[in-house]
Amino acid sequence: MIRKPLVILGATLPLMALASCSHTNQTVGHGSLSIGANAVHIRVPGAPQATIESDGTLRIARRTVPLSPAEQALARHYYQDVLHISTAGKATGEAGGKLGASVFGSLFSALWHDNSSIIKRTAKQGAARVSADVRTLCAHLANLQTTQNALAADQSAFMPYRVIRGRDVTQCLKGTRQTATMTYTY
């Protein structure tokens, strides 16, 4: 009766632990973003590195790209969007790690009382928190996509650096539904 939750826990615990690590270099969509000292570095195949600084300065191949005030505001917004994604990702990873620990802890109680519903109840409560955090993360991803597309539309030099695509946001939201369903299934 308790075997299936153990399989799910065994499969998800390493992923949750990995997600809670505070790496600043993330592969997203069709490239990678890394957060450095007051800057976001964007790498895409076949193009030199682009950097957006916290003040809205855009550099491509270490050369400053002249921006209008509106473009510079979009670049600052892009930088903030990436920070929001990083923060939401860390919160999601931490919530996932707590879920794994809670389910693991409830395992002993379930074994002691011979009642697997204890695990199910604990998993449901934790999964609701994780799902909410993932939805927040997906919303920030959608915001980044909107900002990057607006910046690329205004500044053609930024066009190759559109690393987030519509299907990335769709897959993020789809993954949220699948994770919640998988967590609730016993």
**Confidence (pLDDT) at 154:** 96
Beta carbons of 103 and 123 less than 8 angstroms apart: yes
Residue 150's pLDDT is what? 97
d(CA 34, CA 72): 20
E strands, 8-118, in order: 25-28, 31-36, 39-43, 50-53, 58-60, 63-65
The predicted structure's pLDDT at residue 14: 37
Residue 49's closest CA among 25, 70, 23, 72? 25
User: Which residues of the chain register pLDDT less than 70?
Assistant: 1-29, 99, 101-123, 125-126, 175-186
Instruction: Assign 171 to helix, strand or coil.
Output: helix
Residues 91 and 19: their CA atoms lie apart, in Å, by 9
169 sits in which H/E element: helix 166-184
What is the pLDDT at residue 30? 76
Model confidence pTM above 0.85:
no
pLDDT at residue 79, as a whole number: 96
